[in-house]
Amino acid sequence: MSETLAIYGGKPAVDVSKVVNWPPINDIDEKMVLEALHQPSQARGPQNLAFEKEFAEWNGNKYALFTNSGTAALHMCLVGCGIGAGDHVLVTAYSWSSSATCILHHDAIPIFVDIDPETFLMDPDKIEAAITPRTKAIIVVQLHGLCNDMDKINAIAKKHNLKVIEDACQAHGATYKGRKAGTLGDCAAFSFNQNKCLCCGEGGMFVTDNEEIYNGAAKLWSFGETARPEQSRDYHAYALGWMYRNNEITAAYGRAQLTKYDYYFKTLRENGEYLLKNLVGTPNLLLPYAPEYAEHNWYNFNLRIDFDNMGITDPAEQVKFRNAVAAALQDEGIKASVWQRFILPEMTVFAAKNAYGMGYPWAIPGADEGVDYSLEKFPNALKYSRKHISLVQTLRAPNGLDIAEQVRQGIVKVFSNLDKIDPDRIQKILEDRRNSKK
């Protein structure tokens, strides 16, 4: 395919005028949000309670608490599981920063584990070697909407008496052996941020089947109190608490979107599977791995550049080239992005071991013993961070297979013309665009 790339002035592969923005809004959303708006109060009330009940029933959980972000829900998971100052918590080396900063929120220490090069998830075979005498829990990140090998991870956790926390922020509806994400460990966190497959602008949900974990998380969620706002409160702080509650309008929006989620999920699955099948054989393109044990929700459909085949070995050149390819895909009308450019141990807050000043929480006596964030320990995560490009939102409902086909054509067009990708030229084009907007 020799057609001129859109970034060089050619015709885009995707007709963006036909792509519906995410999330689709209809009468259901307007009705429920307006109903909440005209309630006597927009603070926590019947919409919150209904959303918690409906989400728990939909996902298969006993308890749920609606909160203001997935990050807050992760923090609640840690506190519910009794994680405290100086404890160690295992987490993947590649994820969004919240997967690990939530550990710092309660003065615990993240211990990073390298990823599997095909699933992009924490490598279960590297978990036991990372366990320390202080390890209390494992945060399993169901990244990009794919569940990890939970039987293997839960067996390791049971052997070492560790809690299992699911970071299911991207995994709404994804399954492992027929069981939904968020039901596979001791507790879990979901996000409803704008980018998520189920969204209400901003928000999150903490879920668990364990009453003790639920009560511990609820104290953190509302000022350290033992009673929730809808209960009889004595306004006494029994533990360190935050204000992680959410409001009625956002809850109503989330409820409305939940009524449509099964349709969203079906559409996204069909579009993702279409790409997975019909991009086979595209030159220098490595497709995402879809294991038999899991059903992906395709939150991110990840493309990887086969740098080994192309003979590009310098890490800096790989990053530069990858960024140019992502820009070329965007100009074809595909919402492509570099989702996370750094692995977590690279980030200053971890590398400097100084989250709160004076080296804390690593400065807690004995907490830093054996904690090593040397980047060479995470070769798979580093390689992945340099070569991946994520497709987000374009494949989501109500965009169907007609749009998925245009996306396929755009991907094939760009990857068939990688020899024409000039990173310096593309960088100059992008800079000129930015300057013209000033």
What Å distances lie between residue 131 and 122, 127, 140, 164, 374, CA to CA?
A: 14, 7, 14, 13, 17
For residues 196 and 268, what is the distance between their CA atoms, to the nearest angstrom? Answer: 12
Q: Which residues contact 83 (CB under 8 A, 6 or more apart)?
A: 89, 103, 106, 108, 136, 137, 163
List of residues 6+ apart from 288 with CB closer than 8 A: 120, 144, 146, 276, 296, 301, 302, 303
Cβ–Cβ < 8 Å for 279, 408: yes
Active-site annotation holder among 136, 163, 180, 196: 196
Could you give the C-alpha distances from 230 to 34, 43, 48, 213, in angstroms and in order? 22, 11, 10, 19
CA distance 80 to 98: 17
Phi, psi of 389 (to 5 degrees): -135, 130
| Cα-only R_g, the chain | 22
Q: Does residue 353 have an active-site annotation?
A: no
Provide the CB-side half-sphere exposure for 275 (13 A, CA): 30
Report, as residue numbers or ranges, the catalytic residues: 196
